[in-house]
Each structure stands twice: as C-alpha cells, then as structure tokens.
Structure 1
C-alpha cells in the first residue's frame, strides 16, 4: 500500500487514499475525485483481496467472551436456562437458583457455603443428642420406678462393671478410630452401644438416690444446660481457646476425686461435686462453641457429628451426676 500513499503532501493527484492512511483526506478541489457511490478509486487489483473475504462467523466457530456466572458449553446453549433451574454456578464459586443456600451437605457436587453446612451439622448433632438423652432418661425412670429392676441391678454389681467395660471399649473406639466414627452404619451402631452402656450405669447410680432428688437434679440440669447453651451461642467470648486449661482442671478434679474416696467427709464430697459441676459447665460451653464454628478460633469438622454429640452428651451427664451428688449430700 506504500505505493498509494507515498510522497509529500499535498498528495499525488493520481493516487488513491483511504481513511487512516498518511495523506488522507486529499486536498479540497484536487484530483482523485470520488468514484461510484462516493468512494475513492480502488487500489490496483481492486477488492476483494486475493483469496476472498473471510467467511462470516458461524454459531460455535469462536468461543464466547468470558463473563461472570455460569458459562454454557462451547458452541452450545445453556442446559440450565429456564425458570426451573436446579442450580447455577456463579462467579463467586457458589451455586444459586432454586437450591441456593441449601442445607444438605450430603448432596454431591454442590459447593455450599460454610454457614449452611454448619447449620446442618448443628441440627444433626442435636438430633443425635436428643435421642441419647431420651434413652438415658428412659433408663433412669425405669430403674427408679420399677422396684424389681432397681433391686436386681443393685444386688448384681457385676452388671455395672460389665457396662463400664463396654463403655470404655466403645468410647475409645469412637475417639481413636476416625474412619469408624465417620462411616455409617458402624458409627451409629457403636454410638448406640455406648449410649446404652452409659444409660445403664447412670440409671444404676441414680437408683441409689431418692426419686424426688433425681427429679430435682434432672430439672436443674435441664435449666443449667439450656442457659449455658444459649450463652455459648450468643456470647462474644471465645471459649475454644481454653482447651488446655480445661484439660488441666479435669486432671486436678480426677486426682481430687481419688483423694475424696479415702476421706469420708460430706464437706469434701460437696466441694468435689461443686467443682465438677463448674468445670463441666465450662466444658459444655467449650464443646458447644467448638460445634458452632464461625468466628471462633477452633471448631470441629462437620464430618465429626458423632464426636461432637458424644462430647456434649458426656458434659450433660457429668453435670447431672454432680448436681445429683450435691442434692443428695444436702438432703443427707
């Protein structure tokens, strides 16, 4: 094209010029008049260029430009277009649409937010915990009000130690074997056996107290646990950082309990029960916030719903036993 626009300005009257080329537009009144349709003369050889014009773009020939949101298949249409869209992948990496914010983390292929997974996890933990507490309360009522069963379990103390052995085996298995407590149905089978053993032991111990004292302990435990749970959900204090302190406190309580066995004093037993109720009340807040996750420093994985349910269940059982001891010593 240099042969068409070379030379000094004003341009050669016999030369054709085009927009964007040096020397364009030609001077007014000069040569190089417009040809048909107002266009300037064509270059040597004319148009179209050798080989012809490039073909017009066809559907699917070029990839669509990158845009935020779901990208349909290359050269095709969006298979999820319509008002009944089950889900849509957005530019933020989450799914939207009819199931946006869904709360079932078991559905494979869905990228749920952490909040929805955590809510589903909390519901699952409290559902398991409700069943556990229901079984335990049933055993306590059975052993308290069925006098034949009550006298039988008190006369055969070997049943208590058998239940203790089963409790330790199942608890160690669930605590140490991660695959066991995560994979159904074995995790639920071991959890059910653990709950039966714990319920039997707790009901046997509660049968040695007066029914009125047990009922009072149940009511106080329910009120205390409900208040502590609500406190754990709304407080800005992070109790998840107190794991080491609580572990040391539990070890001191354990040693204090061994000493209290050999010291026959109601005052010592009362102090031991009061400290135990206090420590496990803090443990209940700690385990509840570990289950909640969110802004807390430490949290339990949503896959560990069995482990979380066992932790809270043991906290509630220990609070009940210590409160029952306090009530029993006061009545004595």
Structure 2
C-alpha cells in the first residue's frame, strides 16, 4: 500500500504531542493510518541536533516529516538532509498560527504569499525521493477564503504538489492565541468540499474539528481525513477500528489489548534511557469514556514523574494496567 492510500486517515502533526513515543503508541492501534511528526524547522534540521530531531523508530512507518520554513534554499537543504532518516513523505507547514512561527515568517502567514510557497515546494520536490505535500488553512485574517483557497491550490498544483491537507478554518494572526485559532474561527467544511469538486485531480484531505463518528461521512466527499486533538485525547475511538477503512482487521481487539501490546515497546524505550512519563503522557486517553478511565489517568499522571528507574516506571505501568482491568471486570 502506498502513502497516498494510507493518507485516507492521518493523525495531524501536533507540537509537543506527536513525538516518536506518541507515534509508536498510535502505530500499536493502527497499522495503516499515516502519522506525522511534530513540525521541525528547516533551520533546526540544518544547524541543530539533526539526529535527535529527526530520529524515528522503524515500526512508525508510514510516517511523514513536517517541516516549517519559508526560504526555498533552506527548505531544499533541509529536505536533502532529512532524506537518510527514511520518512515516507515530507510536508510543508502552511497552517500553524503560533507567534513563534509567524516571527520566522512561515506557517499560516504564508497563505498571504502563495507564490513564495510555490517556490519552496518546487525546491523541496527537486531534492526529495518521496512525495512533498502541503498542509494549509483556508485563509488568514481578512482574506476571502472563496478566492484565496482556490488560487492557493492552483499554484500548489502548478508547482508539482499532488496532495494537500486543508484545515477548514481561517487563522487569525493577531488577536487569537494558537489555542483559540484551533477553536474559535468557524469551520467551513462546505468550502473544502467544493475544492475537491473543483480540483478532482488533487488528493485533498480535510482537517479541523473532526470527531469520532465523522470520518466515514467525510470520506464520501474527500480523499482523506486528518484528525488532530481527537486522535490524541481519544486514541482508541479514532484509531482502534481505523484499519477497517482499508478492509484490514485492527491489530488490537480493545484498549486493554492495546495497552498490553505497548508493554514490550515501553520496556525497550525505558532500557534506552527514556522516562516513563515521556511515554505514558500520550496514553492517558486510551480508555476515554470507559470504566476505570479516570483511575488509569490518575495512576499514570500522579506516579509517572516519581518513577526514577526503568524498573519503577514499568512497575507503575503494570499497576495502572491491573487497576484498569479490575475496574473493567467490575463494571
């Protein structure tokens, strides 16, 4: 199966969340969904601790690297330097509204300069053996999305991009925090749906506010669905049965089985030097809405930072597992 097919469902790049431990956990839940890294800036790839920033574990695949930047030459170099790390896709961030991103003149602010974005992706495509994609907003500030978005897509298509994810909200670059920009600007799903009709040759995924129960309906109208916060806070509800979208049997029968399947990976990470809280902080929502969910979260949240050794970390995880199984058996 190629990456385009696996982009039928993807988990969004999320700063401070979709690190390699999170992606390893999500891969336990779904063999097929496309996963994304946190955004890494082109400058950090070129000048920073590249091996640490781009490290990934082989079982994560398929996984895409998201890069932030606005200088075509810098993005070209970053794409070339990232190639040996074996990502299945390279994605350009044209959607993040944070102040830090704006100050670097990349992210959502690039919706104002589609010509520059086109130069950037051309440079990236020239250096990449894997597909270069774009994640964007429908517009920013006072832009008219009905005009801006189709022009943006047209310029991306002319530059050689064939797969784009559209966050169905504007970004307000002044006056709203990054958190508010994920929640306050209204969603405009119909506009994104119209873009699929207008650009049938592009593979278009929809993102923004996607909750459990919405994915299959959106797939009637779009090529793919990207889920962000719901996949993080309700991972089983989004990913536990996701492989059925590809007519594949899910790897785990339930969240308890998924938690057990994670144990060998946790042991390996702890032996490498990871701390248990680095791993389990991504797993707190595994039992969302199920008996014992609050107990699971409390045991892991209260104890993870206290565990000083791999043995203590594993003992804490086993205790949380025992508690959740007891709570579910009693329900």
The answer to which structure has the higher strand fraction is 2
Higher gyration radius (CA): 1
Shared fold per TM-score greater than 0.5 = no
Higher helix share: 1
Q: Relative CO higher for 1 or 2, CA cutoff 8 Å, sep ≥ 6?
A: 2
